[in-house]
Amino acid sequence: MTDHVASAEHGFAEQYGRRPAGVWSAPGRVNLIGEHTDYNDGFVFPFAIDRRTTVALGDRDDRLVRVASTFSPETVEAHLDTLTPDTVSGWAAYPLGVVWALAEFGADLEHVRGVDLHIDSDVPVGAGLSSSAAIECAVALALDEHWGLGLDRPTLAKVGRLAENRVVGAPTGIMDQSASLLGETDSGVFLDCRSLDADVIPLGFAEAGLSLLVIDTCVSHTHATGGYAARRASCEAGARVLGVESLREVRVDDLDRARELLDDETFRRVRHVVTEDQRVLDTVRTLREQGPGAIGALLDASHVSMRDDFEISVPELDLAVETAQAGGAIGARMTGGGFGGAAIALVGDERVPEVRRRIEAAFAERGYREPAIFTVHAAQGARRDA
Ligand code: ADP
Ligand code: MG
């Protein structure tokens, strides 16, 4: 039995005084490339990571759903007959939002019995590694299987997104949940966010002697407010002026015309999305044709676009990226929604200690908070563990 299963079972027993009926888990994700393209109907290329959120579940005789987490001292309960988006708040909005969203996708919850859930996780929260999707997908898969709902994984991804959009109130896209549910070992999930077609594509990092380093700046971000929503609004405004349903339909070749029609700021927002879509396609093609050693320049260009055109980076992320590049990373970029969170660097195995040392030194020199630096591996998506 793996550590996280034992710890989840132990946590459940401490909380509820009995053994759980089952344990499920779902991973966080790193977005290799394709930032802020998901809600523009474009392309993303994330992978599930070897950091997971675990849900231990036990049956109840009544219609209550209780949730507890090592993340928070409060236990929250809801009744299956009265649960609505407005009756939950705080962290419990994620798991209880999923319960509500399952019914929105046609699950018959009229006759199911309640459950006790205990949640444990080693996905860092608020680091841009999507601890939110990890908790949503772990809960969604656990309840789907336990209650025998028969929803497929693409639908469970939509369940997670709906919970986050409507119950948590964060206007996020479908990428995180898709990576968490569809990811496979050593592979990325190339997702077309319009058709929701997903292709699992081997990354081959280990074989090529490459490590994927995450540099969590520990600068916190929050998607529910501010910048994320503003960027989304800019993209919608740009699409409206250009007469397209979504920026997915705009090509790099169309950008000259777009520059004439849009104000400078909206144009730069649009240019990021359009070029980023192209970089995702180029990354997938480059991986297939030349292997992971050849994708570095695309990662670097993605960062510049987010820093200068989309303006979602922060000085800590820029420093992490620049220092990694100077230290010999083959490519680096901020990842996730922006305004804090983590950067990633693709680094030859033998350069990892040096890159790490340089980033720590650079942060110390600027007086920035010490970053958390760790490697991640592409791992299996959501699953039942016990
Ligand atoms: P990210 O997804 O980048 O980690 P978010 O702000 O989207 O950051 O989601 C983080 C929030 O998700 C937390 O503040 C908390 O409300 C909820 N959450 C994530 N993991 C857990 C967990 N293990 N237990 C309880 N709540 C969690
Ligand atoms: Mg999140």
For 355-376, write each residue's pLDDT tens digit: 999 999 999 999 999 999 999 9
Q: Residue 25: CB within 6 Å of ligand 1?
A: no
- In the predicted structure, residue 95 carries a pLDDT above the cut 60: yes
CATH topology of domain 203-376: Alpha-Beta Plaits (3.30.70)
Average pLDDT over residues 70-97: 96
- In the predicted structure, residue 173 carries a pLDDT above the cut 50: yes
- Comparison of pLDDT for 47 and 336, the residue scoring more: 47
Distance CA 176, CA 270 (A): 22
Strand order in the sheet with 210-216: 331-334, 342-348, 210-216, 372-376
Residue 383's nearest CA partner among 174, 133, 182 is 182
For ligand 2, an ion, list residues with CB under 5 A: 130, 132
- In the predicted structure, residue 1 carries a pLDDT above the cut 60: no
**Closest protein CA for atom 12 of ligand 1:** 132
- In the predicted structure, residue 224 carries a pLDDT above the cut 50: no
- In the predicted structure, residue 2 carries a pLDDT above the cut 80: no
Domain locations in the chain? Answer: 3-201, 203-376
For 14-37, write each residue's pLDDT tens digit: 999 999 999 999 999 999 999 999
- Per-residue confidence (pLDDT) for residue 4, from 0 to 100: 86
- In the predicted structure, residue 221 carries a pLDDT above the cut 70: no
Q: Residue 119: CB within 6 Å of ligand 1?
A: yes
Count of alpha carbons within 13 angstroms of residue 385, beta-carbon side: 26
Distance CA 161, CA 325 (A): 34
CATH topology of domain 3-201: Ribosomal Protein S5; domain 2 (3.30.230)
**Residue 224 alpha carbon, nearest atom of ligand 1:** 6
Cα 351 to averaged position of ligand 2 atoms, centre (Å)? 30
Calculate the average pLDDT of the chain. 96
- Comparison of pLDDT for 214 and 2, the residue scoring more: 214
